[in-house]
Chain A
Amino acid sequence: MHITFNRVSANYQLGPIKRANILTDLSAEVKPGSFTAVIGPTGAGKSSLLKLINGLLLPSVGEVSVGEVVFTSKASKQALKQVRKRVGMAFQFPEHQLFAETVYEDLAFGPRNFHMTDSEIDATVKHVCQLTGIDQSLLERSPFSLSGGQQRRVAIAGILATKPDILVLDEPAAGLDPAAKKQILEMLSNLHRTEKLTTLMVTHDMDDVVHYADDVIVMAEGQIKAHLDVRSLFADQDLLDRYQLDVPTALSLQQQLEQAKGERLNNRSLTLTELADNLIEEGWV
């Protein structure tokens, strides 16, 4: 499903007092079925960009289109409902949205809001449990009795239960231990592939960008500064320097090695395997 931003500006203005724009004059197109990482310093407008896709923030100027739904500053309730059905959104620490008495009820919350029948809901809950690896035995437990990692899983399952075509994630692995983090990200990456979900993910971890994303949107000062594929991003040292972006572990190691040796490798390595290959190929080891 296509997402396009057409010269969008937005702010959190309430009432008549003028506020500075959070996002200014954005234009971008996210390809259907792609996995796009959104990176940039804090306050760059990453989360606001995600909210635009879901109609939680409306453009003050310009238009956003998600699939065949187009919305501008005056979006109808109907259009918003449609878009929210299409787009699943996980905020930072999504487990804070858990509320129901049982995991089952929490997973059923989204489908109920979108008026699915009871049998459909039952099937959907079973399905998302399978997708996210939640054991059936957990369904009758209270979500508050689960561990942090499991809560996160349930929260994400609750978002998937609305059967979105687009998944929008704001640092889905923040605050988890490395093992749980890897599990969650692997799960999301699998979902992206098997369910053909167009995925956007805000992240600060460049290794995650390398491992999971196809494309990258670089944001700063409320604007999209660059939208390119992962390899081109890390090939462009100017761009990385200008927005003070980190590099993946492998590339950072390569740069240290190059500095120590006073020579350069021909290719920039993004993963450790690549780095090892490059080192062997050029006879450094």
Chain B
Amino acid sequence: MNINFTLISQALAFSIFIWFTVRYVWPPLLRAIEERQKTIADGLAAGERGKHDLELASQRSAEVLKETKQRGAEIIAQAEKRASEIIDNAKVAAKEEGDRILTGAKAEIEHEMFSARETLRQHAADLAVAGATKILRREVDARTHADLLADIEKDLK
């Protein structure tokens, strides 16, 4: 156990080892560890942000859904209203059209009836005149009694 030059050599070796560690061993590892810590911190922050974003998005989607539902209900109500309007209009139009057709038909019937009656009356007048003519052939001169015949004819009509 004697102190000698070994002490100085060992101290020299020691300082070289310290220098080596300070220069080459410590910094890269420290850098790696710090970078990883930063990455982890960033990742955690990103996760937190993502969670927050998700919350916001789900909130927004719920709002949009609600709005859409409301709008849908409005549209359906409008459509129903419009449909009933159309039906009402159609009913009115149909009724009008029916009335019009009915009126036309009635007018036609009346016209037909009138013309038939007219024809019938003509026929009856003709028949009466023919009968009367036959009866009165000899006594009645057609030319002299023309105004009389016209009168009768007029009456019959």
Q: Do A and B come from one complex?
A: no
